[in-house]
Structure 1
Amino acid sequence: MITYQIERRSGVATYMQIVLQTKQALRLGVLVPGDKLPTAKEVVETAAINPHTVLKAYRELEREGLVELQPGRGTFVRRGLGSTDAASQAPLREELTAWLRKAEEAGLDADDAAALFDACRAEVYATADSPSQAGPTHP
């Protein structure tokens, strides 16, 4: 089961943090179709947030077709987001972890490494149709 980590100083709305963390778990195969999300009460107890915030996040996920509310039973994952399963991602995860360790050894902090990763990601995934989506390709 997923446990939500709410970063109060992030500038991202709490309900959106729940949505984004759920989507990340779906992409990584941590959550798969049929899995039950924690109840609003469970999230409130672990994250100390308003139950309406949890319900707002779950409604957004339902609107996107990712989860299904089953009255009296809970909220269940309807579909995943990842294009590959967790096992096939494992070698890439190992390589990325090694890269992050090298970045740290080179003096980059987490934000620096994220910025570099994002710049490289933009270069690799940029399309000819939408160069504005590519973002900056250099610092």
Structure 2
Amino acid sequence: MDVDKCDSPSPIGFRLDPGSGVPTYLQLVQQVEQAVRLGYLRQGDQLPRVKDVVAGLAINPNTVLKAYRELEHRGLVAGRRGVGTFVEGTVERVGLREQAALHKSLLVWMRTASEAGLDEEGMSALFTAALHDLRKSRAGRADEEGGNGRAGVGA
């Protein structure tokens, strides 16, 4: 399901994956965060109006409002009564050149994975497992370096 940008001044359109297991409002939150992270949305850009999202995705207005409230809570957007919801915050970003190079490398990896017989779900599972391993190795390194918040306690 997609809500496109034709009737809205927003540079982002939302889509839902009903089979993802991710709550609808979180899918909207994640898409806004990703759009900001990748530079598709910038400070001052307007998010789609609630009524446009509701009409385009056939979802409850409270779901969209919940997503927008969560984004406000995270400091990423702010609502302006009677005007709309606008991007105000930022998230950590990698430079455009670096993103382009990483994107190209990832496409090569995906083609290789596809040729090896992995479908999209298999690629996603493998990527998620590798991301989990990366997080674990970072956490282990932080613990070794005293980054566990307990450095010097009891010494």
User: Normalising by the residue count of structure 1, what TM-score does the alignment of the two structures yield?
Assistant: 0.84
Between the aligned partners of 1:109 and 1:44, the Cα distance in structure 2 is 32
Residue 3 (structure 1) shift: 1.0
> Displacement of 1:63 after TM fit?
0.8
Q: State the structure with more CA Rg.
A: 2
Map 1:1-139 to 2 at 5 A. Answer: 1-125=11-135, 126=137, 127-128=139-140, 129=142
The CA deviation string for residues 35-94 of structure 1, in whole angstroms up to 9 with x for no partner, is 110000111121111111111110010011110111122101112213223343111101
Q: What residue is the counterpart of 1:133 in the other structure? A: none
| Contact 1:26 1:32 (C-alpha < 8 Å) held by counterparts | yes
Contact 2:53 2:64 (C-alpha < 8 Å) held by counterparts:
yes
Deviations 1:14-45 (A, max 9, x none): 11111111111122111111111000011112
What secondary structure is seen at the aligned counterpart in 1 of 2:107?
helix
Q: Percent identity?
A: 46
What SS is found at the alignment partner of 1:81? coil
Q: 1:23–1:81: 8 Å Cα contact kept in structure 2?
A: yes
User: 8 Å contact 1:65–1:79 — kept in the other structure?
Assistant: yes
Taking a change above 3 Å as real, the CA distance of residues 121 and 11 of structure 1, as seen in their structure-2 partners, is: closer
Q: How many residues align?
A: 131
Runs of 4+ aligned residues of structure 1 deviating over 6 Å after TM superposition are none
* RMSD, aligned CA: 1.8
Q: For structure 1, list consecutive stretches of 5 or more residues without a partner in the other structure.
A: 131-139
